[in-house]
Structure 1
């Protein structure tokens, strides 16, 4: 399984360690890093988004700030390409658990 660093520029926001799969998502343990508190509220807003969103307005309101953060997942030890959050992959973090789709 892959290990990832969640980065905003050079700032480490946290680390993910994949441990399983619940198709179409990979399951990972999440450990916050030094920059986590600066972005936590934006990522938690995405995690809290549940239920129908017929016109997509609720999702758009959450995704815009997330896109503006320009977050990247960088594989530890290589072997995979880096992933831009939202553009290349879908990431949900809920406490110490993460779901990643790429």
Structure 2
């Protein structure tokens, strides 16, 4: 399974270690890094979204600020391309658990 570093430019926000799959998502453990606190509230808002969102407006309102941060997932040890979060992949972090779709 893959391991990733979540970065905002050169700031380490955290590390993800995939451990299972729940199609279409990969499940990962999340370990916060030194820059995590600056983005934590935005990911918490995304994790709090529940229920139907027929036109997607609630989701867009929460994801746009995250997309604007230009976050990347960099594979540890190679084996995969660098992913632009919310462009090349979907990432949801809730505490120590993450769900990644790429």
Per the TM superposition, whether the score is higher than 0.5 is yes
Q: Displacement, 1:27?
A: 0.6
Give the corresponding residue for 1:93.
93
Match of 1:69, SS state, is coil
2-side partners of 1:91 and 1:100: how far apart?
5
Give the corresponding residue for 2:43.
43
- Equivalent pairs counted in the alignment come to 102
Give runs of aligned pairs for residues 1-16 of structure 1, distance below 5 A. Answer: 1-16=1-16
In the alignment, structure 2 segments of 5+ residues that lack a partner are: none
In the alignment, structure 1 segments of 5+ residues that lack a partner are: none
Query: When the two structures are superposed, what TM-score results if normalisation uses the length of structure 2?
Result: 0.97
Q: Displacement, 1:55?
A: 2.0
2-side partners of 1:56 and 1:23: how far apart?
21
Give runs of aligned pairs for residues 23-102 of structure 1, distance below 5 A. Answer: 23-102=23-102
2-side partners of 1:54 and 1:17: how far apart?
32
Match of 2:68, SS state, is helix
2-side partners of 1:97 and 1:55: how far apart?
27
Match of 1:91, SS state, is strand
2-side partners of 1:55 and 1:3: how far apart?
34
